[in-house]
C-alpha cells in the first residue's frame, strides 16, 4: 500500500517559483471534507461540538476554515486563546484546558467567557481567588489512574500522567463547585494518544457516561456535557488501516443510549477535542534533496530539518515519504534522510526504502498537518518555514510567511547589538 500525496510534482514545480522549499502545505478540500464527516458521525447528538485542539496547528487561516465548519477551539495557553478570539470565537466557542495554569491565563479565559476545564483540585481555590468567582459553567478533568485497557490490550498509562483529578477528588470538586455557584458541569478525560482503533472513543465514553450518572446521583450536579477530548489517531504508516469516524460515532451513540438515556440524561452534549485526526493527513512538509553522502550508510540531505518537523527526532515517529514524480518507481534504494542540524537525530527517515533520489528531487513528507509546524523551534539559528494552503480550486495561498533573520534577532533588547545585526542584514541584502 502507498500513501498518495495531495499535490503533484508539476504543482510543486510551479509553487516553488514563488515560495521556495521547505514549506508546509495544507489541503483545504481534505480538511473540510473531514470536518463534515466528523459532524455527520455525531449528528445524532443535538449538542455535539468538535473543539479543535489549537496546539496541533495554530494558524488562524486554518482555524477559520474549521470555525466555518462548526468547530470551536480547545486552547491551552493565553496566545492560543488570543488566536481563537482573533478568528471570532468567544464564550462557549472556546474550551480552556490547561495545566499548571498561570493566574493571568485563567483571567483572560474568563474575560473571553471560555469554558474553563480545571485540571487539578487545588485549582478551584486558585481560580476563585484569580477571577473572584466560580463560573456557572465549568468542567473538570478526570484521571482514573492505573492503565487504560481495551480488548486489544493496554493502550496507555493514565496513572503515570500529570493530568487530571482522581475519582475522589472529582466527586469532591463537583460538590464544592456546586456550593460556590456552578450550575452546569462538564467531565473531560484523555486516556490514550493516537489510537488507531474504532474502539477507543466508545470504550472511553462508556466509562465517562457511567461516571456522569454516579456524579449526578451523588452530588446533584447537572452534567451538561461530556468531553471525550482527543486521542483519535491516524495511520502514519502506509500499511495501517485508518479510523472510521462513522463507526466511532455509532459506537459512542450505542453507549449513550445504553447508559445515559435510561438514567434520564439524554440531553447531555458530547464534545471532542481532536487535533491530529482533524488536520494531520491534510498537511505535508515539502523539501528538496540538496546533498547525498556515501559513507557507512547512504544519506540524502534535504533543505528541511527537525526545526520544520521534530516528531521523528523527538519521538522516533514515522512519517511516510513520497519522492514526487517517482511514485511508481521501485523502492530499490535504502537511505537515511537527514536535515542539517548539529544533532545526529535530525533524520526524517532511517534506513528507509525509497526510489533513487537525485539532487533537486522534491520529497513530500506526509501527515504533518498536526504537531508539525507547531512544534518548530530555532535551534542552530534555523528559521521556521512558510505555510501554504492549497485551495479547493487549485490555487495556493500563503498563510504564514517564512521567518527571516530579522525575526530571529527581533527579541534582542540591547540596542547596540540589534543595530550591528541590522547593519549585517542590510549588507547581506544588498550584496
Short-list 89, 116, 249, CA closest to 173: 116
pLDDT at 410 over 90: no
Residue 111 lies in a domain: yes
Q: Model confidence over 23-75: pLDDT tens digits?
A: 999 999 999 999 999 999 999 999 999 999 999 999 999 999 999 999 999 99
| Same-domain status, 108 and 201 | yes
> What mean pLDDT is predicted for residues 324-330?
97
User: Before 52, cis peptide (omega within 30)?
Assistant: no
- Looking at 247, 263, 279, the residue that finishes a domain is 279
Backbone angles phi, psi at 374, to 5 degrees: -60, -30
pTM of the complete model: 0.93
Query: Domain total for the chain?
Result: 2
Q: Model confidence over 145-184: pLDDT tens digits?
A: 766 665 555 455 666 678 899 999 999 999 999 999 999 9
| Same-domain status, 207 and 92 | yes
3-state secondary structure of 56: helix
Residue 366 lies in a domain: yes
| Same-domain status, 234 and 292 | no
| Same-domain status, 46 and 66 | yes
Residue 423 lies in a domain: no
Short-list 314, 313, 356, CA closest to 338: 313
> What mean pLDDT is predicted for residues 276-285?
98
pLDDT bracket for residue 10 (50, 70, 90): very high
3-state secondary structure of 161: coil
Report the percent of the chain where pLDDT is more than 70.
94
| Same-domain status, 126 and 101 | yes
In which element (H, E) is residue 104 found? Answer: helix 103-112
Give the CATH number for residue 303: 2.40.37.10
| Same-domain status, 138 and 198 | yes
Residue 7 lies in a domain: no
Question: In terms of residue numbers, what domain contains 338?
Answer: 281-409
- Looking at 252, 279, 306, the residue that finishes a domain is 279
Residue 389, pLDDT score: 98
282-303 burial: b if 16+ Cβ within 10 Å, else e: bbbbbbbbeeeeeeeeeebbbb
| Same-domain status, 243 and 371 | no
Residue 100, pLDDT score: 93
Residue 426 lies in a domain: no
| Same-domain status, 275 and 305 | no
Per-residue H/E/C for 247-311: HHHHHHHHHHHHHHHHHCCCCCEEEECCCHHHHHHHEEEEEEEEEEEECCCEEEEECCCCCCCCH
Give the CATH number for residue 261: 3.20.20.10
Q: Model confidence over 203-232: pLDDT tens digits?
A: 999 999 999 999 999 999 999 999 999 999
Rounded CA separation 344/28 (Å): 35
- Looking at 256, 279, 302, the residue that finishes a domain is 279
| Same-domain status, 286 and 260 | no
Q: How many CB atoms sit inside 10 A of residue 419's CB?
A: 10
Residue 102 CA from chain centroid, whole number: 22
| Same-domain status, 188 and 269 | yes
In which element (H, E) is residue 177 found? Answer: helix 167-179
pLDDT bracket for residue 328 (50, 70, 90): very high
Residue 154, pLDDT score: 45
Q: How many CB atoms sit inside 10 A of residue 376's CB?
A: 18
Backbone angles phi, psi at 235, to 5 degrees: -85, 100
Residue reference for cell 533520489: 357
Residue 16 lies in a domain: no
Higher pLDDT, residue 378 or 424: 378
Strands (E), 324-425: 333-338, 347-354, 362-365, 386-390, 396-400
Region of 242 on the Ramachandran plot (φ > 0 left; ψ -120 to 50 alpha; else beta): beta
Q: How many CB atoms sit inside 10 A of residue 136's CB?
A: 9
Rounded CA separation 182/172 (Å): 13
CA distances from 396 to 24, 137, 207, 387, 403 (A): 12, 41, 44, 10, 19
> What mean pLDDT is predicted for residues 241-264?
97
| Same-domain status, 190 and 292 | no
Rounded CA separation 37/398 (Å): 27
Report the C-alpha dihedral over residues 323, 326, 331, 332, rounded to 10 degrees.
Answer: -110
Higher pLDDT, residue 31 or 419: 31
Q: Give the HSE-up count for residue 29: Cα atoms under 13 Å, Cβ half-sphere.
A: 9
3-state secondary structure of 186: strand
| Same-domain status, 340 and 232 | no
Residue 159, pLDDT score: 62
> What mean pLDDT is predicted for residues 265-286?
97
End-to-end CA, the chain: 49
Residue 14 lies in a domain: no
Residue 414 lies in a domain: no
For the chain, the average pLDDT equals 94
Amino acid at each position: 500500500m502507498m500513501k498518495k500525496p495531495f499535490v503533484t510534482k508539476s504543482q510543486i514545480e510551479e509553487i516553488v517559483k514563488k515560495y521556495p522549499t521547505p514549506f508546509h502545505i495544507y489541503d483545504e478540500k481534505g480538511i473540510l471534507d473531514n470536518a463534515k464527516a466528523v459532524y455527520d458521525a455525531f449528528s445524532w447528538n443535538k449538542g455535539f461540538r468538535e473543539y479543535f485542539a489549537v496546539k496541533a496547528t495554530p494558524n488562524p487561516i486554518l482555524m477559520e476554515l474549521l470555525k466555518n465548519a462548526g468547530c470551536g477551539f480547545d486552547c491551552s495557553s493565553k496566545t492560543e486563546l488570543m488566536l481563537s478570539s482573533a478568528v471570532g470565537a468567544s464564550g462557549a466557542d472556546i474550551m480552556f484546558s490547561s495545566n499548571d495554569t498561570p493566574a493571568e491565563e485563567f483571567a483572560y479565559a474568563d474575560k473571553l467567557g471560555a469554558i474553563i476545564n480545571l485540571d487539578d483540585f487545588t485549582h478551584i481555590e486558585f481560580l476563585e481567588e484569580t477571577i473572584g468567582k466560580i463560573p456557572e459553567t465549568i468542567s473538570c478533568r478526570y484521571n482514573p489512574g492505573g492503565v487504560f485497557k481495551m480488548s486489544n490490550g493496554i493502550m496507555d498509562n493514565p496513572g503515570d500522567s500529570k493530568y487530571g483529578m482522581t475519582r475522589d477528588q472529582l466527586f469532591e470538586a463537583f460538590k464544592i463547585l456546586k456550593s460556590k455557584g456552578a450550575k452546569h458541569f462538564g467531565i473531560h478525560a484523555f486516556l490514550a494518544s493516537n489510537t488507531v482503533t474504532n474502539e477507543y472513543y466508545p470504550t472511553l465514553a462508556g466509562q465517562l457516561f457511567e461516571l456522569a450518572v454516579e456524579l449526578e446521583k451523588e452530588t446533584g450536579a447537572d452534567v451538561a456535557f461530556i468531553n471525550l477530548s482527543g486521542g483519535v489517531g491516524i495511520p502514519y504508516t502506509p500499511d495501517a488501516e485508518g479510523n472510521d469516524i462513522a463507526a466511532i460515532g455509532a459506537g459512542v451513540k450505542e453507549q449513550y443510549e445504553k447508559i445515559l438515556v435510561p438514567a434520564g440524561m439524554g440531553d447531555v452534549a458530547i464534545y471532542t477535542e481532536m487535533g491530529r485526526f482533524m488536520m494531520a493527513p491534510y498537511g505535508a512538509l515539502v523539501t528538496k534533496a540538496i546533498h547525498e553522502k556515501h559513507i557507512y550508510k547512504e544519506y540524502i540531505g534535504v533543505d528541511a530539518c527537525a526545526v520544520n518537523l521534530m516528531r521523528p527526532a523527538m519521538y522516533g515517529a514515522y512519517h511516510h515519504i513520497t519522492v514526487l514524480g517517482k511514485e511508481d518507481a521501485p523502492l530499490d534504494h535504502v537511505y537515511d534522510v537527514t536535515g542539517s542540524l548539529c544533532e545526529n537525530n535530525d533524520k526524517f527517515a532511517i534506513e528507509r526504502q525509497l526510489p533513487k533520489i537525485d539532487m533537486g528531487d522534491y520529497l513530500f513528507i506526509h501527515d504533518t498537518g498536526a504537531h508539525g509546524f507547531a512544534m518548530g523551534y530555532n535551534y542552530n539559528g534555523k528559521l521556521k518555514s512558510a505555510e501554504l494552503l492549497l485551495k479547493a480550486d487549485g490555487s495556493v495561498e500563503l498563510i504564514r510567511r517564512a521567518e527571516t533573520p530579522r525575526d530571529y534577532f527581533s527579541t534582542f533588547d540591547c540596542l547596540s547589538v540589534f543595530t550591528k545585526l541590522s547593519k549585517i542584514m542590510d549588507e547581506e541584502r544588498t550584496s
